[in-house]
């Protein structure tokens, strides 16, 4: 499902030349329905790995294959369809501020061209599942951090993606909300979604044991 082969990544500097390497010689593979923790301190390269997985950037060297698409070689026009198959939860939620919670969740379905009737059914169902039906009409600014995070998750999973990526999803949440979020991820994983969660906290992998890939200074230092 996801394969990194000797991946190197260097973000361009302001002059457009390759800058300092963010990833060096990173290799691993994730299977369908897997649950993976991506561990490491800030600046270790976790977010870069996730950005490569969601085709937000291309590798400088090596091979990144996601859902059968070679991110480095794929035509630019082919990437939107790939992105629609991947759910992403960002640390800072990235909800559209002028849309209601309901419309934020509906966005991926509308982009996929689903009918409004189908959109209505799926959005209402997922908001019920996440106990957010009562808040559906509110804009993100009117919701708590935990509620915004759940809306972001609902938006990420509404299309039932094969792969869900989360970058520090609990950093803005209190302990109760963080536990609830991890339980939600576990439930989705049980239903067949492959999940990759980047975190700098070692408590979360302890609470939900799964495969852990540890990064430091752009290299994998531990990947069982």
Partner 1 sequence: MRREAGGRGDPIGLRGALADRLLVALIAAMALFAACAVAGQAAVSQLAQRWQQGANTAITVQIPNPSPARMEAALEALRALPAVREAREVDPARMAELLRPWLGDVAGLPLPGVIELRLADLAADPVLIGDKVAEAVPGAVTEAHGVFVARLAALARALSLAALGVVLLVAAVAASVVVIAVRAGIAARRDSVMVLHMLGAPDRDIARRFARRTSWLALLGGMLGVAVAIALLWALMQLAAPILPEIDWQDLPLPGLAAIPISAALIAWGATILSILLWLRRLP
Q: Give me the DSSP letters along the chain.
A: -EEEEEEEEEEE-TTSSEEEEEEEEEEEEE-TT-EEEEE--TTSSHHHHHHHHTTSS--SEEEEEETTEETTTS-GGGHHHHHTTEEEE-TT----TTS-HHHHHHHHHHHTT--HHHHHHHHHHHHHHTT-GGGTTS-GGGS-HHHHHHHHHHHHHTT--SEEEEESTTTTS-HHHHHHHHHHHHHHHHTT-EEEEEES-SHHHHHS--EEEEEETTEEEE--
Q: How far apart are CA 52 and CA 46, in angstroms?
A: 10
Which of the residues 107 through 166 are near partner 1 (CB under 8 A)?
107-108, 110-112, 116, 133, 136-139, 155
β-pair type (61-66, 69-70): antiparallel
- 76 sits near partner 1 (criterion: CB under 8 A): yes
- Work out how close the CB of 23 gets to partner 1 at its nearest, in angstroms, rounded to a whole number: 16
Nearest CB to partner 1, comparing residues 108 and 205:
108
x-marked contacts with partner 1 along 12-51 as a string, rule CB under 8 A: ----------------------------------------
Q: Given candidates 1, 57, 162, 210, which one binds partner 1 under the rule CB under 8 A?
A: 57
- 4 sits near partner 1 (criterion: CB under 8 A): no
x-marked contacts with partner 1 along 159-198 as a string, rule CB under 8 A: ----------------------------------------
Nearest CB to partner 1, comparing residues 132 and 213:
132
Report the sign of the C-alpha dihedral through residues 98, 175, 90, 86, in that order. negative
Nearest CB to partner 1, comparing residues 86 and 178:
86
- 79 sits near partner 1 (criterion: CB under 8 A): yes
Q: How far apart are CA 160 and CA 138, in angstroms?
A: 24
Q: Given candidates 29, 81, 206, 221, which one binds partner 1 under the rule CB under 8 A?
A: 81
- 96 sits near partner 1 (criterion: CB under 8 A): yes
- Work out how close the CB of 123 gets to partner 1 at its nearest, in angstroms, rounded to a whole number: 10
Q: What is the size of the binding site for partner 1 (CB under 8 A)? A: 36
Residues that bind partner 1 (CB under 8 A): 54-58, 76-77, 79-85, 88, 94, 96-100, 102-103, 106-108, 110-112, 116, 133, 136-139, 155
């Amino acid at each position: 499902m996801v394969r990194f082969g000797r991946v190197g990544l260097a973000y361009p500097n302001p002059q457009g030349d390759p800058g300092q390497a963010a990833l060096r010689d990173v290799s691993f593979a994730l299977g369908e329905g897997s649950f993976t923790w991506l561990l490491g301190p800030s600046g270790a390269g976790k977010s870069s790995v996730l950005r490569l997985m969601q085709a937000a950037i291309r590798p400088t060297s090596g091979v990144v294959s996601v859902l059968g698409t070679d991110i480095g070689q794929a035509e630019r026009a082919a990437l939107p369809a790939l992105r629609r198959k991947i759910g992403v939860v960002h640390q800072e939620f990235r909800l559209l501020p002028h849309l209601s919670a309901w419309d934020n969740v509906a966005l991926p379905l509308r982009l996929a061209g689903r009918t409004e009737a189908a959109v209505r059914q799926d959005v209402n169902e997922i908001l019920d599942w996440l106990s957010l039906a009562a808040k559906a009409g509110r804009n993100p600014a009117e919701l708590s951090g935990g509620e915004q995070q759940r809306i972001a998750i609902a938006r990420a999973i509404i299309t039932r993606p094969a792969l869900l990526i989360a970058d520090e999803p609990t950093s803005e949440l209190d302990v109760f909300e963080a536990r609830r979020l991890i339980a939600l991820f576990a439930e989705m994983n049980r239903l067949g979604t492959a999940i990759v969660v980047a975190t700098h906290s070692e408590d979360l992998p302890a609470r939900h044991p799964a495969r852990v890939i540890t990064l430091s200074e752009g290299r994998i230092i531990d990947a069982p």
